[in-house]
Structure 1
Amino acid sequence: MITLDLCTFDPGVVAKSPAAFAAVVVECVETSWGEGADIVLLPEFTWMGLEPLVEPKSLKRVAEVFWSELFPTLCSLLIRPGKAVVLGTAPFWDVESGALRNRAPILVGDQLLHQDKLHLTPWESDFAPGTELRLWEFAGLRFAVVICLDIEIPEISVSLRGRGVDVVLVPSATETVLGVERVDRCASARAVEMGSVVGVCHLTGKAASELIDENVGRTAVYFPSQAAFRDSPRWVEGEIFESGIHKQRVVISPRDLEVMRRMKQETNPALLESLPDFEVRLG
């Protein structure tokens, strides 16, 4: 069994410095690990809570402080054998392209990985979209991080078809209940389409940041609707919160995923090897 903690996060936490803010995040992760979690997921834009603590207040400065000043210490504290964490997302200045990315830092054992957001909302106009979706392995399972709006794009699941993705992690940030619903309802669809466990966590609270000034959210997990998962809840959606750190513990059974994939005679869209050619016609 693999244990996952989905965590909302409130970037408006009281902190007097970037290092103090980072300490709150570290405590959140270490507490989950100490209570038995193997992997922890934090929300999109967790690190925009640094904005009121830096000068000048800009996305590029937040990127500089996070990646140059805080990330080395985070790595020294959070690189653990047999543990993994997706540290939400932070702005990243891509020197080669001269563009900002919305990037999720991922620590998996002693590996340093990342995932950039591929599809951007209208208010992310200062960012450039990422160019690839990265898969990674942990505890014998294959993972993908799909950031917020990306989970609402069905072409994502088409691209991942047949690649053996066991778990999709969705860090998200939304201002309204409608945003929460869009992300979560699409996450549920991806669990059915891909035969994957899909875990979601949203940002909560208010922050002194134009980008994430108000946030509501929750945690949610969705399992495939297949016989191997019949005897346990196949979706669990938490209460929607306006503030605070809230956690949901998820237990993932590699055996259930393996059994599901062996059941070739069961109706399962994730096991379709090819799709028929067809035309879309009006009338």
Structure 2
Amino acid sequence: MRLIAATWAPVWHDAPDLWLDRYRAALAEVKADHDTLVIFPEYAAMEAAFYGDAPLDAQGWMRRGADHFARYCDGIRALVAETGATILSGSGFAASHDSYVNRALFCGPEGETFVEKHMPTPYERALNMAAGRPGPVIDTRFGKIAVLICYDSEFPHLARRYVEAGAEILLVPSCTDTEQGASRVEIGCRARALEGQVLVAMAPLVGEVTQCEVIDVNLGQARVFCAPDVGAPDDGILAQGPRNAPGFAILDGLERRLGAGRKETHVSVPDHWPESESIALTWDCTPLVLK
């Protein structure tokens, strides 16, 4: 089995639905099949709206993206049917009651579910985007999977909740417009892999789309992390793609890595979480003035 995280660069198209040809070609390039789990980045779904003349501000792009999201998901479903692969689609704006959320489609031959971003960034909050619904742990042939979209990965309690519910793989699609932002998500992913002793795969958006204010500049590098422990790489990096350029991080033999971080280890952070909390609750953190 293979876990493939895409470093994806969206482009502007001459006509609707040409984005689907790019996805189809990418899946053919990596020979995606029934034993392949593929992750596309945060806001990659916006590419379905990249055609024609669209001089919009951020609010306008949010509405246009939401108008194209269902069609994008239909394209992902078609690709799953063609290849047999399981795909976490790129996320995008989706209408939710009287607001918008950041939503992605998790789709495989066995079925599908939507996942949403829990923690909107300050930029998304300025657009009046809402927090997404709590997502499920998805039981698949690849293992138990949970999704943390970009900023979600920087909050340890979110990942911990999923790990305690049985998640073995955390998927982190991301979209950041500075090297600092890309580093924050990467640090979050590495920390979540260490704390949970699980696999964490990050799939970032890259490149420039000057016509679209919300994803005009994008930086990052697809990587798959584990806890750096017995039998793992010293730096905990299992696979990586090119930096700030399109490509893929490909982890072959996923089934051999699954659960390996807990079978023989020097440390066991998940087992000791309750103990650390008990200690923290007994602390007297009143500031001490040294004399």
1:246 alignment partner in structure 2: 247
Moved more, 150-159 or 23-32: 23-32
Q: Counterpart of 1:29 in 2: which secondary structure?
A: helix
Write the deviation string for residues 108-128 of structure 1: whole angstroms up to 9, x where unpaired.
223121110111112213321
Aligned pair partner of 1:22 in 20, 23, 27 = 20
Asked if residue 9 in structure 1 is aligned to residue 8 in structure 2, the reply is yes
State the alpha-carbon separation in 1 of the partners of residues 45 and 254 from structure 2.
31
Aligned to 2:207: 205
* Separation in structure 2 between the aligned mates of residue 280 and residue 102 of structure 1, nearest angstrom: 40
Q: Does structure 2 conserve the Cα–Cα contact (< 8 Å) formed by 1:47 and 1:88?
A: yes
Q: Give 1:231 shift.
A: 6.4
**Seq. identity, %:** 21
Aligned residue for 1:100? 100
2:268 aligned with 1:268: yes
Q: Are 2:215 and 1:217 aligned?
A: no
- Give, in whole Å, the separation in 2 of the partners of 1:38 and 1:102: 25
Distance in 1 (CA, whole Å) between partners of 2:20 and 2:123 is: 25
Question: Normalising by structure 1, what TM-score?
Answer: 0.86
Q: Distance in 2 between matches of 1:120 and 1:18?
A: 29
Q: 1:280 to 1:91 in 2, by over 3 A?
A: farther
Aligned CA-pair RMSD: 2.6
Task: Say whether the 8 Å CA contact 1:49–1:209 is kept in structure 2.
Answer: no
Q: Displacement, 1:262?
A: 4.5
Paired with 1:71 and 1:239, the residues of 2 have a C-alpha distance of 27
Number of equivalenced pairs: 274
Q: Which range moves more in the overlay, 272-281 or 111-120?
A: 272-281
User: How far apart, CA to CA, are the structure 1 residues paired with 2:79 and 2:93?
Assistant: 21
Work out whether 1:64 is the aligned partner of 2:67.
yes
TM-superposed CA distance for 1:48, in Å, is 1.9
Counterpart of 2:40 in structure 1: which amino acid?
L
Tell me, what secondary structure is at the counterpart of 2:146? strand
Distance in 1 (alpha carbons) for counterparts of 2:256 and 2:197: 13
The answer on whether the counterparts of 1:81 and 1:109 sit within 8 Å (CA) in structure 2 is: no
- The equivalent of 1:151 in structure 2 is 153
Equivalent positions of 1:16-165 (< 5 A) are 16-34=14-32, 38-53=36-51, 57=56, 58=60, 59-67=62-70, 69-79=71-81, 83-94=85-96, 97-124=97-124, 125-126=126-127, 127-165=129-167
Identify the match of residue 189 of structure 1 among 191, 199, 202. 191
- Work out whether residues 32 and 40 of structure 1, in 8 Å CA contact, stay in contact via their aligned partners in 2: no
Go from structure 1 to structure 2 and tell me whether the alpha carbon gap of 1:86 and 1:54 turns closer, same or farther (over 3 Å shift). farther
Unaligned runs of 5+ in 1: none
Local SS of the residue matching 1:118: coil
